[in-house]
Structure formats: structure tokens, C-alpha cells
Structure 1
Amino acid sequence: MITDPASLTDAMAGENFPVALAVLPRPIRADLVAAYRFARYVDDLGDEAPGGRVPQLERVRAEVHRLYETGNPEDEVVAGLGGLVARAGMPIGVWLRLVEANLIDQRVARYETFDDLLGYCRLSANPVGEIVLHIFGCATPDRIAFSDRICTALQLLEHWQDVGEDYSRGRIYVPQRDLRRFKVAETLLDSPVATEELRALIAFETDRALAWLDAGAPLVSTLSGWPRLAVSGYIAGGRAAASLLRRSGHDPMRTRKPSGWDVARAWLEATVRWPG
């Protein structure tokens, strides 16, 4: 579990979807780190915490309520959100949805349809984009709607990259209906080499994720300055991840995570592609 700020910054730099920490103003960086720290914290509790994970996640949920009701939570990570919540007028729901996503992970290991998976992404991914927009002071309903599409796409791409890792944890995010359609048995999801059927499935899912990314990309043209740069970075990370999946022949077992150069190249393209 990462709690040290320096380690958090390093971890964020290694994510598929960077937020330009190195160039953003210090107050913005501090708020983004606090938000990332919380998201990483609840993910770690849901994935790796020893003992009862549900009680620990429920405790964090109660601490979020305590932050908003009294301003004095006991949990260090939740307390670290205090300044951000005060400055940005952050709605409580964004944090609670992230906790709920990890609670769902404790009881749901399969998704029958793509729509079912989208419901999970609304909790696990979309709040992140809303948080970023609030940090930059530019959260409007239309922008949040675009951001939701971007965040859903990023979450989907991460799932397609990590099918083997997720399977080792007992979870499958690829919709069961799609597995049947492409004749991919669950046991093939952690094979050393992807079968032709699995590659076809991942190609289909990657194209679908890119369609969601494209549907959200007009958000960039509604922004300027630092918010535009940051959102372009998220889009660039998604495009870099999709590109690497394609270059591996859509073999998730052989797909590496995007390097800084991969993202920088896609970031430059994203920054200049959309006018405004």
C-alpha cells in the first residue's frame, strides 16, 4: 500500500494515464496526489488487504462521511482529502462511488453483458474524471458527461491489458457474453500465449474502448490551459495503451504497459489534434 508522497508521485508517473504532475502548478499537483492516494488506498484495500476487506472498506466509507460531517476523520488518507474537499467543493459521491466499486469487487467476479460492465465503470472509473474536473474548477454537466466516456474507456483498456492478472485474482471483467461469442474459455485468460480466439476478442474489446475514448475526446476542445493539458494526457495514455495492444497482435500476455515515450508521443498528438 502506497502512502509516501514521493512514492505516490512515482506510482502516478507509471500509470497508463498520467496527469502531467511534472509541469502542473504545485497546488494542483498536491490535490491530484491526494485524490490519487485515496483511489489507490481503496483499491489496495479491495485487492490486497489481509483479513476482512469488506469491514475495512466500510470503515473508509464511514470515514468519508465523517470528513464531510465533522471535518475530522481518523483515517490519515481520508483526512488528506480535507483541503481538496474545501477548496474544490467536491461532492461526497465521488469518493463513495470509488469505495462502492471495491465493495462490488468483493462479491461480483463476473459480468454477463457489456452494459453490466459499464455499470461497474460508472463507480470504479468515472468518479476519477469528475474529481479532476472539480480540481481544475471546470466541472459542468456537459464536461462530466464527456469525461465519463473517457474514464470508462481508460478502465476498459486497463481491463484488457490485465486479463491474466485479474483472472489470477478470481475476477473476469471481459463480459461473459463476449467470451461465449468468441469461443474463449475462461481458463485461456491466463495462458502464456493468447489463442487466436482470445486475440480476436481483445481486438474487438479494444476497438470498442477506443470508440468510447473518441466519444469523450471533444472534452479537450472545451478546455484551455492546464486542464486541457491534463485531460489530453489521460487521452494520450489510453491511445498509447490501445496502440501497444494492437502492436502485440492483441495478445494481453505479451502487451507491455506504455512507457513515458509512448505516452508523450500520443500526448502530443492528442494536444494538437483537437482545435479550441
Structure 2
Amino acid sequence: MTGRRSDPVGVDAVHSENFPVALRILPARLRADLLAAYRYARYVDDVGDAASGDRAEQLAEVADDVRRLYNGQQPVRDEVAGLAPVIDRCALPIDPLLRLVDANMKDQEVSRYETFDDLLGYCRLSANPVGQIVLQIFDAASPDRIELSDRICTGLQLVEHWQDVAEDYRAGRIYLPARDREQFDVAEQDLEADHASPALRTLVEFETDRALAWINAGAPLVSTLRGWGRIAVSGYVAGGRAAAMSLRRAGYDPLTSTPKPTPRQMATEWLTGIARRPG
């Protein structure tokens, strides 16, 4: 989740991600709005993951800064102030921005998830708001589309968790649900190894298939969109599918290295998604 890269698929990304954040082919205004939203989301994550001092207090200050912006006052943080044009142009509601803060607040308190449903609750805070923001930017938000977007975003978040099992464990967090680990006979100590055990591989395969099912359940969203919105959202779907395939190619071993799709693999999935009628 860290680092910078240039992606031939056509991505302007501040950090390395599985999906295009702002395709270079998009009009400048749309790219600017997407990148402003992305910078805010990454900033909130960075405060929650790496800030020195009291992270919960700093996250509360970010939320206050967002409220300040919506109240017509000047925010303290550049990443919050950068949202002003997006809010004005896209009628962006405050709720998804605050839910991203809530997700990072939860990270300060919760480092393990008992059930898959518990993890889905976290995804509703950490991932699904991003999809709503994207739909607002493309003037395509509706209850039905947001519901489909939530499925895609949940699937994307799950895939990223399965890619980052080793990194998250080193940070003191386990997103693999405890009941699933028990079912597949995977102990916490198994996550310390240099290579995934057969049991862990089986568990990651199970979780990857489940994440891919969420992405595919939301993919019909693409066929409801037109123009730039369809192009961009199909890129998110493609990134998630390519990431799931990278886990498969790695033998569902997220400990030896972090499985990531190549730009060519992402491009193939993206072009397939653009052409696919049902999404």
C-alpha cells in the first residue's frame, strides 16, 4: 500500500494500488476531482496507520476539519481543503468522508475480527464510501448503483487484505476472520512464517474466491454507466479481478511476497471489462 509507481494502464496514483485511481485519458476536471478524493482518503489512512502521537485524537481533528469545510470555514489541512472544488461541483455529501475517518478510528481499537460479517462491517466504513464518492464525481450516484458499488468496493478491500496478510500481521493486525482460521486450522503463529502452510493457502484461496464473488456481484454496475464513468469504474473492477488472479498465480501464498498484478494483466482485465455487456 505504499510507494509510487507509473502504470502503463493509465494511472495517476499517489500510492500503489490494485486499480486505476485517475486514468490519464479522463478529462482534466474528472481527474482532478478523483485525485483530490484519493489524496484525502490516503491522508486519512496515513494518519491512522503511521502518525506519531495520539492517532485517535488526530483523526478526530481531521473529522472536525471536514465539518469545518462543510460549514463554510477554511480547513487546516491541505488534503481537506482540496476537497472544496469536488464538494461544490459534485454535491458530495459529508457522510462518506466521515466514514473513512471512522474506519481508521476502528483500526485504533480493533486488530482482530471474529467473523466474516464483522469484517464486512469494517469494509462498509473503509471501502464502500470511496465508491459513493466516485459515483458522485461522475454524476451517477443512485441507491441502486451505490448498492452495486458497495459490493465492488467490499471485494476490492477483501482482496487487498488477502494480498497484505504478512504486512498487516507485522503491523499487529489480522483481517482473516478468527472463525475462518479455526475452520481451516490456521493459527496466528502460521502468519509469522516465510512461506504459507498448505492450510493457510487453502484459507486464502477460500477468501479470495469469496472476495472475487463480491466484485463480480457488483460488476453489473459497469453496464449501467456511460462514457467516462463506465471507463473508470471498469478499471476498478479490472484491478480487483487482476489482483485475485495474482493471488492464484502465487499459489495463494501471501507470505513469501505480496502478490500483485502486472500492468499487462490489469490492462487485459480492463479491456475485457469495457467490452463486457453485463458488467
The normalised TM-score by structure 1 is 0.95
Q: In the alignment, what sits opposite 1:74?
A: 76
Compute the displacement of 1:275 (Å): 4.7
Alignment check: 8 A CA contact 1:20 1:229 kept: no
Q: What is the rounded CA distance, in whole Å, between the counterparts of 1:272 and 1:144 in structure 2?
A: 22
Cα distance change, pair 107–48 in 1 and its aligned pair in 2 (3 A): same
Q: How many pairs align?
A: 272
Q: In the alignment, what sits opposite 1:98?
A: 100
1:159 and 2:161 matched? yes
Q: In the alignment, what sits opposite 2:43?
A: 41
1:266 and 2:276 matched? no
Q: In the alignment, what sits opposite 1:179?
A: 181
Q: What is the rounded CA distance, in whole Å, between the counterparts of 1:85 and 1:47 in structure 2?
A: 26
My pick for the range that moved more, 73-82 or 199-208, is: 73-82
Q: Structure 1: where are the runs of 5+ without partners?
A: none
1:24 pairs, out of 23, 26, 43, with 26
Q: Structure 2: where are the runs of 5+ without partners?
A: none
Q: In the alignment, what sits opposite 1:11?
A: 14
1:144 pairs, out of 143, 146, 149, with 146
Q: For residues 51-76 of structure 1, what are the alpha-carbon distances to aligned partners after superposition, in whole Å with 9 as ceiling and x for unaligned?
A: 11111100000001111012421221
Alignment check: 8 A CA contact 1:20 1:233 kept: no
Higher relative helix content: 1
Matched residue type, 1:140: S
Q: In the alignment, what sits opposite 1:65?
A: 67
Q: What is the rounded CA distance, in whole Å, between the counterparts of 2:192 and 2:36 in structure 1?
A: 34
Report the secondary structure of 1:243's partner residue: helix
Compute the displacement of 1:203 (Å): 0.3
Report the secondary structure of 2:175's partner residue: coil
Q: What is the rounded CA distance, in whole Å, between the counterparts of 1:89 and 1:101 in structure 2?
A: 23
Q: In the alignment, what sits opposite 1:201?
A: 203
What do you get for the CA RMSD once the two structures are aligned?
1.9
Alignment check: 8 A CA contact 2:12 2:22 kept: no
